[in-house]
Structure 1
Amino acid sequence: MILIVDDNQENIYSLKKLLELHKFVVDSALSGEEALKKVLKNSYSLIILDVQMPDMDGFEVAEAISGYSKSKDIPILFLSAVNTEKKFITKGFQSGGVDYVTKPFDPDLLLLKVKSFYKISEQNRQLSAMDKFLREEIEFRKKAENELQERVEELKSILESMPQMAFTTKPDGNIEFVNNHWAMYSDDNTAFPTTEGITVTDCMKMAIQTQKQFIQEVRIKVLNGDDYRFHVLYLTPVKKEDHLIKWVGIFTDIHEQKMASQILENKVEERTQELKHINRKLQESNSELQQFAFVASHDLQEPLRKIQVFSNMVMEKYPPPQSEGKRFLEKIISSADRMRKLITDLLDYSRPPDKDLFQETDLNAVVNEVLVDLELKVKAKNAIVDVGPIPRAVVIPGQIKQVFQNLISNALKFSKEETFPEISIRAERVDSKSLAASPTRDGDYLRITLRDNGIGFQQHYADKVFEIFQRLNQKDSYEGTGIGLAIVKKTIDRHNGLISVTSEENVGTKFTIVLPLRPIEISGA
């Protein structure tokens, strides 16, 4: 933009039109004071200044403009029709003008001067801007280099203070700096320590190829010795604006841990072999147990069957003359029957688990089979058995059937006199293996509750009812071997489940069972 300063409005108008015809942007001022104010506010590439003006003449205005740092480089073209003598022209140049044109002037010549000075001013402005930019860029680079150097020194200080052997390299992998631990493994600060197997140079090449952190276990040789120690080498890239500037390497000594780990692995291997040997012995023991079960189920029960048969024959063919003899024979028959049941329950309790028997099972069908088997007892007691829907589960059908059979039989057996037994069986899916788990439609566990209104027992006996041969009632009052609930507990344990009981005397008993629905590994016998 060009500023025209003249106290004559007509002169400003004619000159402004001439310049605007040649695409110049023009501003104007009618006095020196107005011109100075505009120079402080705006940026001009050329000032055309009239010499003869009231209050402040052109020379005074030019000297004032040259004194401002913002406007000192603006070229000033003096224009005068009165002061045409040499001394005025000289004063114009001394005041800071770049040319002095007298009126009347040639418009074409004036335009050439204006274009030249305007172009020179714009070039000077661009050069000044470029100079400023370059100076700022130089300062920025100096500051960045100083910060980088400070970081490098800080990094070196950190690496020196580390208990591990550490170093830095250039982007190509050549060593720049090593800390004081380097001397333990190398006498050359520009060469990597000697290794067994993969070399540090190989690791460096692989890291450079990926441009990412590289971690490798290496064995490096102790200087002036024959020992190699295990270390973990960490190679970490240091980047600035995604540009790799160096690598930081750290050797962490893991020799003691490695040796301890190898010793532990050897011990684990030894223990594994011992466990395999024990497992073989256990399999042999299970095989012997199965053989014993076979013998017990046939050979041991055979004498009992004969005792029962011959006692019944004596009762039928040779009835004792006295009632006391009959009572003794009845006790023999009852004891033999109880011994047979005891042997059968013991075999069930000691039978080894077999995970191949696990299968998806309709538990509703299992409960119905149990009720069919116990139909006579249920009718004899006038019992009411209410069974709700039970989801399918992966179980050992025979063992789960025995669980329901024992629990329902107990509920029928331990019912109150002159009270019809009421047995309720309910099931729901739950979210975890917990007796108090929350019900959920898609739970992975099944919770079954069996309630009765029988004689119950005091709650502090709850932990004892699952112990083998444990009875809370006189055997003369209630038949049984004291093994039924122990078998139930062992079966639920084999299914990786939970079982608990709550009871109150003369009110009733509730058994709660939690079983996983999905296939499981059988727990120990």
Structure 2
Amino acid sequence: MILIVDDRPENLYSLQQLLELNHFKVDTAASGEEALRKILRNTYFLIILDVQMPDMDGFEVAEAITGYSKSKDIPIIFLSAVSVEKRFITRGYSSGGLDYITKPVDPEILLLKVSTFYRLHQQTRELHEAQEALRQEVMERKLAQEALSHSLDELRSILESIQQIAFTLGPEGNIEFVNRYWHRYAASPDALPDTPEGEPSVAECIRKAIGAAQQEVFEVRIKPLGEGDFRYHLLSLTPVWKEGAIGKWVCIFTDIHEQKMINQLLENRVEERTMELRQANRDLEYSNHELQQFAYVASHDLKEPLRKIQVFSNLISSKFGPEVPEAEHYLNKIVSSAARMNSLITDVLEYSKISIGGQFRPTDVNTILRDILDDMELLVREKGAVIRIEDMPLLHAIPSQIRQVFQNILSNALKFSRKGISPEISVSAERTGEVCASGELHPEGPYCRITVRDNGIGFDERYLDKIFVIFQRLHGRNEFEGTGIGLAIVKKIIDTHGGLVTASSREGEGSSFTIVLPVHQHQLENHIQDSDT
């Protein structure tokens, strides 16, 4: 903004109009005192000052203006109609003026001078702004340099304090700093530790990290000075980024020699133990095979004399029994005991055959249950039993073993019925998401929960674990027939299928057997294959 100072209003008006028409902002003052007050409040880039004014002439106002720190650098153009002599012009320049124009004013000359001073003002302001920006930048660089120097001091202090070999690299890989542990492995700060021939060198590791421009960790062996053995170390190279570029690398060797030796020892022992276990598994498989062969042979050899005992006992009973009633009684006991022995041998053989396993395949449980009921038709009719079976899902199982499970459980439900009450048996199935007897239902769950309920004699749940143990019986042979193996076979088959079997009951109120089986056996088959390999 331009300040025009003149005591004549017509002069002020004409100059103001001239300058404003040329897009300059203008302020006016009618006296020297008013001009000084405005200068203290506002900022001007040029003052046009009339020389002849009452009270304070232009020279006195100019001297006052240059005396203020705020306005001392504002250029002043004097205007005079009469004071055109050399001495007045000289006084104008000495009092702080930069130019002197006589009246009447030539508008073009005045505009040229004002434009010149405006450009000078703009250049001066830009120069001041550049100087201020430069000063700020210098200050920021100085602070950044101090912070960097402080950070470097801190980093070096930290690297000196750690109990490891530490060093820093420049962006190109040149060594800048090494801590005191470096000298245990290298002859000088510029020499890298030695590595065995044929293994990656420290220099190669550094080149790989710089090429990747990211943190890298390498396992290397380096040798302490004066010693013959190389020691395992982890070399970690971490870049330090600054303004989008890597400013340096912080590198640390961590001694892992003892851990490496221990790991190798453990790996050797694990390998040895694995080989021992594989041999033990092979020996066990061979032993199981021999045991299975023995079970087959033994069962056959044991059944043969039993059949002869039964046959000859029946012959003696039919030929001499009517003549000697007491002998016939004893012979019946022999036949009954032989029959029990035959059942026991058969059940033991069936129990041993479960470990042989079988091939898992899609199994229609509904078909199996229908076949079982067909085989048990006479017993069901004799007992007057009512059996309800819901639709069963397709399961991935061993059909022969699943048949044995349901045959044993349904046989028990018919056998352990209450006297005078027709057995009622129900078989239901539902999908669930977990191997649990009471888990939440899930329409697409990976497991099938099958429940077999009856209204038989039941049992005390204190003996729940006992009923699934081989040769364990809750009732005497005189009350109910059986060998005590049936439910043990059920549990072993369900375990082979990766499932769960349990029961709940109250004496005199019936029993409920719950079986949970995987719908698919993929995981189990993979597990078996992994263990075989």
User: Smaller-chain TM-score range?
Assistant: over 0.9
Q: Distance in 2 between matches of 1:76 and 1:354?
A: 116
* Shift, 1:162, TM fit: 1.0
Partner of 1:127: 127
Identity rate, percent: 56
3-state DSSP class of the match of 1:472? coil
1:401 pairs with 2:403: yes
Alpha-carbon distance between aligned partners in 2 of 1:165 and 1:459, rounded to the nearest angstrom = 68
Tell me the CA shift for residue 402 of structure 1: 1.0
In the alignment, does 2:185 pair up with 1:188? no
Q: Distance in 1 between matches of 2:233 and 2:262?
A: 14
Preserved contact between residue 175 and residue 191 of structure 1 (Cα < 8 Å): no
Alignment of 1:93-172 (within 5 A): 93-172=93-172
Whether the 8 Å contact between 2:354 and 2:492 is mirrored in structure 1 is no
In structure 1, what is the equivalent of residue 499 of structure 2? Answer: 497
Secondary structure at the aligned position of 2:505 is classed as: strand
Partner of 2:347: 345
**What is the one-letter code of the residue matched to 2:245?**
H
Equivalent residue number for residue 383 of structure 1: 385
Q: Distance in 1 between matches of 2:57 and 2:312?
A: 155
Q: Give yes or no for contact 1:293–1:351 (8 Å, CA) kept in 2.
A: no
Aligned pair in 2 of structure 1 residues 122, 323: CA closer, same or farther (>3 Å)?
Answer: same
How far apart, in 2, do the equivalents of 1:360 and 1:488 lie? Answer: 20
| Equivalent residue, structure 2, for 1:312 | 314
Residue in structure 2 matching 1:277, options 242, 261, 279? 279
The residue number in structure 2 matching 1:332 is 334
Alignment of 1:475-486 (within 5 A): 475-486=477-488
**SS of alignment partner, residue 428 of structure 1:** strand
C-alpha distance in 2 between matches for 1:453 and 1:296: 39
What code does the residue aligned with 2:242 have?
K
Q: TM-score w.r.t. structure 1 length? A: 0.92
Which range is displaced more, 78-87 or 269-278?
Answer: 78-87
Q: 1:404 to 1:49 in 2, by over 3 A?
A: farther
CA RMSD of aligned residues (A): 2.5
Q: Does 1:435 align with 2:451?
A: no
Measured in 2, the distance between the counterparts of 1:494 and 1:9 equals 117
Change (3 A) 1:107 1:335: same
- Which letter does structure 2 place at the counterpart of 1:50? D
Deviations 1:79-137 (A, max 9, x none): 24465565654454344322232321222222221122111111111111111111101
CA distance in 2, matches of 1:345, 1:55: 138
Q: Secondary structure at the match of 1:10?
A: helix
Q: What residue number does 2:231 align with?
A: 229
Q: Can you give the 5+ residue segments of structure 2 that lack an aligned partner in the other structure? A: none
Q: Deviations over 1:377-413 (max 9, x none)?
A: 2222222222223322221111121111111111111
Aligned length: 524
After the TM superposition, which residues 486-525 of structure 1 pair with which residues of structure 2 at under 5 Å, given as runs? 486-519=488-521, 520-521=524-525
8 Å Cα contact 2:427/2:450 also seen in 1: yes
Which residue is 1:15 aligned to?
15
**Would the aligned equivalents of 2:232 and 2:260 in 1 still touch at CA under 8 Å?**
yes
Question: 1:37 Cα deviation (Å)?
Answer: 6.2
User: Could you list the per-position Cα deviations for residues 346-368 of structure 1 after superposition, in whole angstroms to 9, with x for gaps in the alignment?
Assistant: 11212253455111222222222
**Where does structure 1 lack aligned partners over 5 or more consecutive residues?**
none
Tell me the distance in 2 between the aligned counterparts of 1:37 and 1:321. 158
Give the 3 Å change call, closer, same or farther, for CA 73–459 of structure 1 in structure 2.
same
Match of 1:473 in 2: 475
Paired amino acid for 1:365 = T
What amino acid does structure 1 have at the position aligned with 2:404? Answer: Q
Please identify, of 466-475 and 285-294, the stretch whose mean Cα deviation from structure 2 is larger: 285-294
Question: Which residue does the alignment assign to 1:207?
Answer: 209
The 1-side partners of 2:69 and 2:326 are apart by: 141
Judged with a 3 Å threshold, the aligned counterparts in structure 2 of structure 1 residues 356 and 462 are, in CA distance, closer, same or farther, namely closer
Contact 2:428 2:451 in 1 (8 A): yes
The question of whether the paired residues in 1 share the 8 Å contact of 2:354 and 2:493 is answered with no
Indicate the larger mover: 325-334 or 463-472: 325-334
Distance 2:374 2:30 in 1: 123
Aligned to 1:453: 455
Cα deviations across residues 284-330 of structure 1 (Å, max 9, x unaligned)?
A: 11221221232134332222223333333444455433443333232
TM-score by length of 2: 0.91
Q: Which moved more, 1:48-57 or 1:262-271?
A: 48-57
Distance 1:10 1:376, change over 3 A: farther
